[in-house]
Every structure is written in C-alpha cells, then in structure tokens.
Structure 1
C-alpha cells in the first residue's frame, strides 16, 4: 500500500470568527474541505501548510500562527492511505481576502457552529472537532 504524507489545515479568521472552506467540484467529486495538500520531499508539515495556504488562497501566514493538532491516518482504498498532519492556523486579520487557485471551484468563510454541516468526509469532521477546541 502506498502512504501519502499530507497536511490538513483549519484556517480561522478572527474578524469575522469563521473557518475557511474550499470547494472541490469536478466530474468525480463535489465537496467542501479545509486546506489540504501533500507534503513535498524535504518539507516539514508546517512548511507544507504554509505553501498550500499560499498556493490555494494567496494568503500569507507565519509559522507562529499554527497549532499542531496531531495526526490522522485515512485509508482511501486497498492501494492508498493518507498520513495527515493536522493544523489550526489563525489568519492575519489584515489579510483575509482569498484568491483561490484553479484547483477549487469556490470558497467560503463559515461560522464554526455551521462548519460540520458543509463537510462530507468523516475524517474532516473529526479534525474539525479538534479545531473547535482552539477557538
């Protein structure tokens, strides 16, 4: 089985107090999720999270804004599993203007109490529970 190293990051804006979710929509999938992405060779989890946030939203965040929330192992099928490092990150209040990449169909800042209702995957809902303890 191939194991892919990845990050999942719950980006939280404090003005307004909301989480950022990104919309994946293509012929195969249609769902909302927090910032996610692979860890490249030589990167730490935080370095990957900073890069993914920049690539997916054009937002700049600093390492001191992150809280490590643990890891999560997700079996996709018989041939692939994802070993995720989970992060919570406070967005810079002066810079919450998102410009999404071509990888996503949209974005929204959602109220923490409503975030679970936007999620499809159980593993995202599990990590959201951890993120909620940090706001």
Structure 2
C-alpha cells in the first residue's frame, strides 16, 4: 500500500547544456513557480535513483541510455515546506531535505514535458532570477559553470 504522505526528502537536478544555458520549467499547479527538475524520494529509494527517475519522468531524458553523467554534489539543503503544499506531508513536518545533483546535456537535447506547462533554456543569471526557490537559485549558482569557462 502506498503511503498517503510524501517523504520530506527530495532530489534537485540542475540541467544545463554545452552553452551553460540552464533548463527551467514552469509548474502546472503554480504557473509563477519555475524550477529545475525535482522530486520526492520514494520509500527505500536512494537520492541518486530519484534524480535519475525524475529527470526521465519530467524531461524525457534517460541519463543512462544517453551516456550522460549525473553529478552528485554531496550537498543537501533544508528548507521550509510551502504552506500550500503542507497537506502532502505528514503532520508537523515543517522541513524538506533536498539532495543536489547536476547534469550537462547536449545543446540540442529534446525535452518532453509531462509535469510542467513550459520550459526555457536560460543563461545562468537569468535562470537564477527566474526560479522560485532560494535553494534552486543557489544550486544553479554553484553547479553551472559560467558561460566563458570551459565545461
């Protein structure tokens, strides 16, 4: 039987291309909320497996089949769960723990949305300005090379 509540632990995957443009996606349930790939760890699932699964589910990119490298930054963020999403988590669960990953893809990589309204490829600073969450902004800043730096 599936647990009715989400586990307060997730994976965040910042995807960027060979030109250091960052993929950001617009949520269906909150069109003002733009983000990188993110998803909840399922019971017994490791963060890296969540990252692999969520990238495939949300973008259509099969990291392993494409031969890409998913980089685990060995970094976790802790943030307050938004009030409008609190009902998804067990009672008295104020915080989520987020594991940070990044993925570089080819500049012509096809994106197939399944859970979002739209996507954009933005230069690093524009992506940082567009995403809603502070932890997503920090991950873009830390994980994506500057466009003039070799990747």
Question: TM-score normalized by structure 2?
Answer: 0.75
| Structure 1 vs Structure 2 CA RMSD | 2.4
Cα distance in 2 for residues equivalent to 1:53 and 1:98: 10
1:75 aligns with 80
Structure 2 equivalent of residue 58 of structure 1: 60
Task: Say if 2:34 and 2:132, in contact at 8 Å, map to a contact too.
Answer: yes
- How far residue 42 of structure 1 moved from its aligned partner, in angstroms, is 2.3
| Stretches of 4+ aligned residues off by more than 4 angstroms | none
| Unmatched tracts of structure 1, length 5 or more | none
Matched, 1:37 2:39: yes
Would you say the 8 A contact 1:19–1:109 is kept in 2?
A: yes
- Point out the structure with the larger strand share: 1
Deviation at 1:94, TM superposition (A): 7.8
| Runs of 5+ unmatched residues, structure 2 | 1-5, 84-91
Shift of 1:100: 0.2
Match of 1:129 in 2: 141
Deviations 1:12-65 (A, max 9, x none): 111x43111110143x55211010001112221111111001100111113861
**Given the alignment, which residue of 8, 11, 15 partners 2:15?**
11
Secondary structure of the corresponding residue to residue 78 of structure 2? strand
Distance 1:23 1:41, change over 3 A: same
The alignment of Structure 1 onto Structure 2 pairs a total of residues equal to: 130
